[in-house]
Amino acid sequence: MKSKTTTAFLAFFGGMFGLHRFYLRGWGDVLGWLLPIPTALGFYGLERVRQFGQDDQLSWVLIPLLGFTISICALTAIVYALMSQEKWNAYMGYPSDAPAGRTHWGTILVIVASLLIGTTILMASIVYSFQHYFEHQIELGREIAQ
């Protein structure tokens, strides 16, 4: 039986690599194989910032991909963790009283960590993108004014 707590844990800590999808649906899950792509692009954006500095425009697009992927996986962990036992067991096709859908302290800790870290990363990604976009617009405006 697939545990709700384990699924939420995998969605939060390994979701950007598709671990929760593989846990639930097996190695043939297409979305599980697609999740590492925006993650890798985001890490590539971080590497570009390290190499070329913060003025690299491609990193302005790539870094938020990592942030949004992590935030979506954190949201997925919250959704899984907040499912009632009956709903989880129906989702997985288990009897309604199966222990796989029970909520434990580990489930609550995953919810708290997902809320804290997922929200922080989402806001940082949005701020990073907008800050660099508007700085670029100001520079273009100065060039046009001269």
Phi and psi at 84, nearest 5°, equal: -70, 160
Residue 5's pLDDT band (cuts 50, 70, 90): very high
Q: What percent of the chain stands above pLDDT 90?
A: 75
- The pLDDT value given to residue 55: 79
- The pLDDT value given to residue 53: 86
d(CA 61, CA 133): 10
In 3D space, the residue among 33, 31, 60 whose CA is nearest the CA of residue 45 turns out to be 60
Q: Using only C-alpha atoms, what is the Rg of the chain? A: 19
pLDDT tens-digit profile of 15-39? 999 999 999 999 999 999 999 999 9
Average pLDDT over residues 90-103: 90
Tell me if 7 sits within 8 A of 83, measured CB to CB: no
pLDDT tens-digit profile of 33-50? 999 999 999 999 999 999
Instruction: Supply 11's token pair.
Output: 């969605």
Q: What is the mean pLDDT of the chain?
A: 93
Q: What is the dihedral of CA 130, 31, 76, 37, to 10 degrees?
A: -30
Instruction: Using the predicted structure, report yes or no on whether residue 88 has a pLDDT greater than 90.
Output: yes
- The pLDDT value given to residue 35: 94
pTM score, whole prediction: 0.87
Average pLDDT over residues 54-74: 90
